[in-house]
């Protein structure tokens, strides 16, 4: 459970109606399969000890006594497992019958949670046998255990403080305000639902959306375990639907009528992080909540079966990705259109290098002009060749501008930069930071002054990845009047340009955009070698796909560097070795802190996703913050 990963399972034992002894053994055998894979929390279906479809047999003492006997056997047989099991059974209290979930661990019963909302509509007749629970918890004796019976119970892990477990049962989720809403407000991070929802056309999809919505709304991991094969099919059929959901995202699912295990790891530290971020997440104090501590005998690293996308900013599904690209382009172009309209400006100036960032900025600007029905000739794309410019990028810039129907202007800056070198006494043969930055600042001066000349504004091209790393020349490409790419990382920019190319009507534009995508990322500030780009950004600061991965999990969830390293090693397995990832992770943190001053004076620009670095609201960081605490490695186990 290191780094907050808890392996959980949603079990589907093969049951027999009203055969408690058989069902108890089936629960034990099914649980073994999950336990051997390291599962620490297991949830079984509603009334799993008796089966859900016993009908009026629930009123018979042999069934009720058999259920308690089976519960005792399960508890004894699993005492050495170091696993929390939650099973369902009928339970008699003060001459009334309740549908309850029994929480047990290490040979002890921890609590009984009764169902709050008992259905009485046509296909169910639970109301004929069971009462819904109302009111506070009460103390009951079950065998040798004295436990609480009530809905307001949360089980808190002593070693992993972020692991706090609560339970609701089937119909409770369908209520206007499910009990899990209150559980989450009281601190629960994992919700278990023991269910026996029958299958009908379209019901699985509806059930899935209910689970996703409640998980997202409560910022919890939600485990849904439905009854399956073995239940009576006299009138209904049960599919054994299993869902493991984390903050609205399904991380594993056993479809109805399918076989196999439903097991994964939920990240309770991630849920805690989300709650820290969202200041509106309420803290409820209903009173009379029982918060019981439990402890595992051993806290291990937790082997990870779930995968992490190597490109967390980019949707993995192609259909979703296309919709996301269209949405982002609309946000960018709408933001720029509003700015142009507000200041009454009909002229925009872009430094077009033939690279990815300036390409996207130009495409967005064209969209903004189309939105405002402005003449695209009001957009001037300026290429400014100097020491490092290659024929490939120069020609791509020119051909792109022509294909898009914007104005194109070439302003060579070599002589101006050499003149500047003479003014400040710099040797042009010394290709140091002065050599490079002088070109970047000269280009920005040209753009700014030409914008003044035509009464326009300079459109910034820098992206989120460059801002995070500080890979921009201060008061050079760092500055503009409106930065359309400011909250878009490099990995996402690649997909946006690719999307635009895929849908472009002009074959010339398609060809140019695809070649831009194939061009190495470079500021082109050093002379080329044999006509090819010699200065490749990713060889200097590291692969952008790694830095974007680091940035996402640092900014979005505030994870420990060790956890980010572990996740990256999983996501990029076979591509980068852990030592290489670790080296670039240190580079990321060092640059993120040392270059923070560049983010303190960013131009305006539209926020696109949940990760942004604008100092005006998204991320406020002192420019002189110290990185040391983020570079230290805690090689001991971290259970926080």
Q: What average pLDDT does range 485-507 have in this prediction?
A: 95
Strand partners, 90: 99
User: What are the catalytic residues?
Assistant: 46, 115, 170
Measured CA to CA, the distance from residue 637 to residue 640 in angstroms comes to: 9
525-568 pLDDT, tens digit each: 788 887 788 788 888 999 999 999 999 999 999 999 999 999 99
Measured CA to CA, the distance from residue 461 to residue 526 in angstroms comes to: 20
The yes-or-no verdict on residue 635 having pLDDT over 50 is no
65-122 pLDDT, tens digit each: 999 999 999 999 999 999 999 999 999 999 999 999 999 999 999 999 999 999 876 5
* Confidence tier at 241 by pLDDT (50, 70, 90): very high
* Confidence tier at 422 by pLDDT (50, 70, 90): very high
Measured CA to CA, the distance from residue 354 to residue 512 in angstroms comes to: 9
373-415 pLDDT, tens digit each: 999 999 999 999 999 999 999 999 999 999 999 999 999 999 9
Number of CB atoms found within 10 A of residue 541's CB: 18
Task: Describe the crossing of helices 578-594 and 561-571 by its angle, rounded to 10 degrees.
Answer: 130
Number of CB atoms found within 10 A of residue 280's CB: 4
DSSP state of 192: E
Measured CA to CA, the distance from residue 408 to residue 399 in angstroms comes to: 9
- The pair of three-digit structure tokens given for residue 156, joined into one six-digit string: 């808190």
Q: What average pLDDT does range 353-380 have in this prediction?
A: 97
Residue 482's Cβ-count burial label (10 Å; 0-12, 13-18, 19+) is buried
* Confidence tier at 286 by pLDDT (50, 70, 90): low
Measured CA to CA, the distance from residue 487 to residue 607 in angstroms comes to: 6
The predicted pLDDT at position 245 comes to 98
Place of tokens 């600042």: 441
Strand 108-114 versus strand 138-142 pairing type: unpaired
Q: What average pLDDT does range 591-607 have in this prediction?
A: 95
- The pair of three-digit structure tokens given for residue 481, joined into one six-digit string: 């009047």
What is the per-residue DSSP string for 73-111?
HHHHHTTTS--EEEEEEEEEETTEEEEEEEEEETTEEEE
138-191 pLDDT, tens digit each: 999 999 999 999 999 999 999 999 999 999 999 999 999 999 999 999 999 999
Q: What average pLDDT does range 418-431 have in this prediction?
A: 96
What is the per-residue DSSP string for 105-174?
ETTEEEEEEE-S----STT--GGGT-PPP-S--EEEEETTEEEEESS-EEEEESS-TT-EEEEEEGGGGG
What is the per-residue DSSP string for 170-188?
GGGGGSSS-HHHHHHHTT-
Cα first-last separation, the chain: 9
Measured CA to CA, the distance from residue 11 to residue 78 in angstroms comes to: 15
Q: Tell me which residue of 3, 37, 7, 159 sits closest to 569, measured CA to CA.
A: 3
* E strand segments, 320-401: 348-351, 379-383
The yes-or-no verdict on residue 208 having pLDDT over 70 is yes
Task: Evaluate whether 48 touches 194 at the Cβ level (below 8 Å).
Answer: yes
Q: What average pLDDT does range 45-73 have in this prediction?
A: 96
Give the number of residues written for the chain. Answer: 640
Number of CB atoms found within 10 A of residue 31's CB: 23
């Amino acid at each position: 459970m290191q780094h907050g990963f808890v392996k959980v399972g949603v079990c589907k034992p093969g049951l027999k109606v009203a055969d408690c002894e058989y069902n108890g053994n089936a629960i034990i055998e099914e649980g073994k399969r999950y336990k051997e894979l390291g599962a620490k929390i297991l949830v079984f279906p509603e009334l799993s000890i008796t089966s859900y479809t016993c009908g009026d047999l629930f009123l018979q003492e042999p069934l009720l006594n058999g259920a308690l006997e089976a519960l005792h056997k399960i508890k004894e047989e699993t005492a050495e497992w170091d696993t929390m099991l939650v099973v369902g059974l009928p339970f008699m209290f003060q001459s009334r019958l309740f549908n309850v979930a029994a929480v047990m661990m290490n040979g002890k019963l921890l609590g009984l949670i009764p169902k709050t909302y008992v259905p009485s509509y046509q296909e169910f007749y639970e109301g004929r046998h069971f009462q819904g629970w109302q009111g506070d918890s009460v103390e009951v004796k079950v065998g040798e255990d004295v436990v609480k019976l009530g809905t307001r119970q949360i089980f808190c892990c002593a070693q992993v403080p972020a692991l706090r477990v609560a339970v609701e049962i089937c119909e409770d989720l369908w209520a206007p305000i499910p009990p899990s809403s209150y559980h989450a407000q009281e601190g629960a991070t994992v919700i278990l639902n023991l269910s026996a929802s029958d299958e009908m056309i379209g019901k699985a999809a509806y059930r899935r959306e209910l689970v996703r919505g409640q998980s997202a709304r409560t910022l919890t991991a939600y485990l849904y375990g439905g009854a399956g094969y073995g239940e009576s099919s006299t009138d209904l059929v049960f599919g054994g639907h299993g869902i493991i959901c984390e903050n609205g995202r399904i991380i594993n699912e056993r479809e109805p009528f399918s076989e196999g295990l439903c097991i994964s790891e939920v990240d309770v530290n991630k849920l805690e992080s989300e709650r820290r971020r969202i200041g509106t997440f309420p803290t409820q104090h209903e009173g009379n909540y029982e918060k019981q501590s439990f402890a595992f005998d051993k806290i291990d690293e937790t082997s990870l079966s779930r995968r992490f996308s190597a490109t967390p900013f980019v949707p993995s599904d192609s259909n979703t990705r296309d919709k996301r690209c269209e949405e982002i382009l609309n946000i960018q172009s709408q933001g720029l259109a509003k700015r142009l309209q507000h200041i009454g400006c009909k002229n925009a100036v872009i430094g077009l290098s033939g690279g990815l960032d300036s390409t996207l900025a130009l495409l967005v600007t064209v969209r903004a002009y189309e939105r405002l029905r402005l003449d695209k000739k009001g957009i001037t794309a300026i290429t400014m060749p100097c020491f490092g410019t290659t024929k490939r990028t120069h020609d791509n810039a020119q051909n792109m501008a022509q294909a898009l129907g914007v104005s194109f202007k070439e302003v060579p800056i070599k002589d101006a930069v050499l003149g500047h070198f003479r003014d400040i006494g710099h040797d042009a043969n010394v290709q140091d930071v002065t050599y490079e930055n002088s070109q970047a600042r000269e280009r920005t001066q040209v753009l700014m002054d030409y914008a003044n000349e035509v009464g326009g504004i300079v459109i910034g091209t820098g992206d989120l990845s460059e801002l995070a790393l500080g890979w921009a020349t201060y008061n050079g490409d760092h500055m503009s009047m409106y930065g359309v790419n400011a909250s878009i990382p490099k990995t996402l920019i690649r997909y946006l340009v690719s999307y635009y190319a895929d849908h472009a009507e002009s074959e010339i534009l398609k060809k140019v955009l695809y070649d831009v995508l194939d061009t190495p990322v470079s500021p082109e500030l050093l002379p080329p070698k044999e006509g090819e780009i010699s200065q490749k950004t990713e060889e200097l600061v590291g692969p952008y796909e790694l830095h974007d991965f680091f940035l996402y999990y640092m900014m979005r969830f505030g994870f420990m560097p060790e956890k980010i390293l572990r996740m990256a090693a999983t996501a990029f397995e076979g591509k980068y070795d852990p030592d290489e990832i670790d080296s670039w992770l240190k580079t990321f943190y060092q640059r993120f802190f040392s270059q923070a001053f560049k983010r303190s004076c960013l131009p305006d620009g539209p926020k696109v996703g949940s990760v942004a670095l604008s100092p005006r609201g998204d991320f406020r960081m002192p420019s002189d913050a110290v990185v040391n605490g983020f570079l230290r490695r805690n090689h001991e186990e971290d259970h926080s």
